Each structure stands twice: as C-alpha cells, then as structure tokens.
C-alpha cells in the first residue's frame, strides 16, 4: 500500500567498500532505513525526483509476508528476526497453513512472474532454518498449496557471501518479490541491511531475466542457460591454465636441452 508522507532525507549511499569478512557481520546488520521512496529513490540512494513532485512512500508489503522460525540461527545474524523486529514479517506455527507462495526444498517448480496474482492475494512465506540442518527441518509440517523453489542466485550476506543458492531469508524474499514484479517491495526489505544492495548488484542480470519470463519453465530455461555458460567459462579457464602449464614446462625443457648441448660441446684438455 502506498501513502503520501513527509519528505524524507534521501537514503545515504554507503561509500565504504563492501567487506566480506564475517567478523563484520554485526556491524553490517545494524544499518537500516525506515522508508523507501518509490519511483524516485533507488536502492543505491539516487534521487531522481523533481522538486515539483509529491513523494510517495512504502513502509510495508501490500500482502502477507510470513516465516516459520526454526530458531536454528544466531539471533544477531538472523535476517528473518530482524525483519520481524521491523514488523515486516509475521511468524507462523508448525502445522499452520499458509495459502500463499512458500519457498521450500520440497517445491516442484520455480517461482515465476506467473505467481504475481497468488502473491498479491495470499502473500509469501519462507522457512527460517540453518542450511546445515535441512534434514532436521520438518518441511512437511509447513502446509501450503503453493510450494516453490528459487532459481539460481548468489548470496550477498556476509555469512554466505558469493555462495550460490545459499540465500538468507531476506534475500530469498527479495528475490521472489523482484521476480514477481514487486521490485519496490524488494528494495524495501533489502534496505534494512547495509549489504542489501549488493544482493541486487550481484544478481541484477539474472533477476531481470527471470522477471521477464512468463512461467516456471521459462525461468528454469534461463537458469540452465546461465549455468551452462558458467560451466563453459570454467572449462575454458581450466583449458587455459593447463595450456599455460604446458607452455611453461616446454620452455623449461628446451632450456635444459640447450644447456646440455652447450656442456657437451665444451672441449676438455
């Protein structure tokens, strides 16, 4: 829901270089902004509004956002609990039914733009659990008619930075919002974390591609094409490394042969 409010100070862009050291996690997670200006204030703090325009703000999602909290995570680093403190997410009990989109490993298809109407009506939920304890998590007790998987994306949070698919709760939610066409809500949730904008920076190309798809099948096709390109790049990189090693070895062998020839040609009296 959008509403008009007093003009806020522009979101300040963090000019410090992003640090991936996990010891800085607490420092990074304490940053947030109370509001986000739609259509005129981007996540990186660029204000494109004119003085004549009356700004509009979003302070919450226009649909339900929920989570099942397994309490596996460090409370100081848990993005789900931070969203809860900001009243941006509600908690669900085990066995409680959620009729919206639920991100869960037992999903049978990827989230896609075709889920927009379901999200608008019923919302989105995630499972807040540890990646190391998936086998201990009772996903079958998290009842939903709309289980979904996320396509390939890379984490930007300080704990799992640059790791594929191991997203935090806020990153998973932001990805769903973005893919389904709720980019303003995605920005709002990520703005509660100083590292939040890096998630979009790392995944912008993929998120834009996913959001331009029609259905889950298209999303999977885009994902698989991207993974194939990554594999080709890896193979080419490995091939070049092997070639460099071979060239270096050949040069050393030639030098050794030349030295042996020179020594053999020396006349000894």
Binding residues: 79, 127, 150
What are the structure tokens assigned to 125, written together?
């939920």
* DSSP string computed for 89-138: -EEE-TT----SEEE-TT-SSB--GGGHHHHHHH-EEEEE--GGGGGGS-
Q: How far is residue 100's CA from residue 107's CA, in Å, rounded to a whole number?
A: 13
Q: Tokens 């902004």 label which residue?
A: 33
> Of 197, 196, 194, 146, whose CA–CA distance to 169 is shortest?
196
Q: Which residues in the chain belong to E strands, given as ranges?
A: 3-4, 36-37, 56-58, 65-69, 90-92, 101-103, 124-128, 146-148
Q: What is the separation of C-alpha 125 from the centre of its chain, rounded to a whole number of angstroms?
A: 16
Q: Tokens 């020396």 label which residue?
A: 266
What are the structure tokens assigned to 224, written together?
């698989």
* Contact yes or no for 214/204 (Cβ under 8 A): no
For residue 209, what are the CA distances in angstroms to 27, 119, 155, 206, 233? 33, 20, 17, 5, 20
Annotated binding site for S-adenosyl-L-methionine: 79, 127, 150
């Amino acid at each position: 829901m959008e509403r008009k409010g007093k003009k806020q100070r522009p979101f300040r862009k963090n000019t410090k270089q992003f640090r991936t050291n996990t010891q800085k996690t607490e420092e990074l997670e304490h940053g947030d902004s109370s509001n986000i200006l739609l259509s005129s204030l981007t996540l990186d703090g660029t204000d494109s509004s004119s003085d004549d325009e009356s700004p509009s703000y979003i302070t919450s999602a226009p649909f339900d956002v929920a989570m099942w909290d397994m309490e596996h995570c460090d409370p100081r680093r848990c993005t789900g609990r931070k969203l809860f403190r900001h009243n941006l997410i509600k908690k669900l009990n085990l066995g409680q039914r959620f009729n919206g989109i639920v991100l869960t490993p037992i999903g049978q298809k990827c989230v896609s733009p075709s889920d927009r109407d379901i999200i608008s009506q019923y919302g989105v939920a995630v499972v807040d659990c540890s990646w190391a304890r998936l086998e201990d998590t009772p996903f079958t007790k998290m009842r939903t008619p709309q289980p979904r998987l996320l396509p390939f994306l890379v984490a930007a949070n300080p704990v799992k930075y640059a790791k594929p698919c191991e997203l935090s709760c806020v990153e998973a939610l932001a990805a769903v919002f973005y893919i389904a066409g709720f980019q303003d809500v995605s920005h709002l949730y990520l703005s509660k974390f100083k590292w939040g904008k890096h998630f979009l920076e790392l995944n912008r190309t993929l998120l834009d591609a996913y959001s331009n798809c029609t259905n889950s099948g298209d999303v999977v096709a885009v994902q698989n094409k991207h993974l194939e390109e990554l594999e080709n790049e890896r193979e080419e990189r490995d091939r070049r490394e092997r070639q460099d090693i071979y060239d270096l070895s050949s040069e050393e062998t030639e030098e050794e042969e030349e030295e042996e020839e020179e020594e053999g040609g020396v006349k000894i009296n």
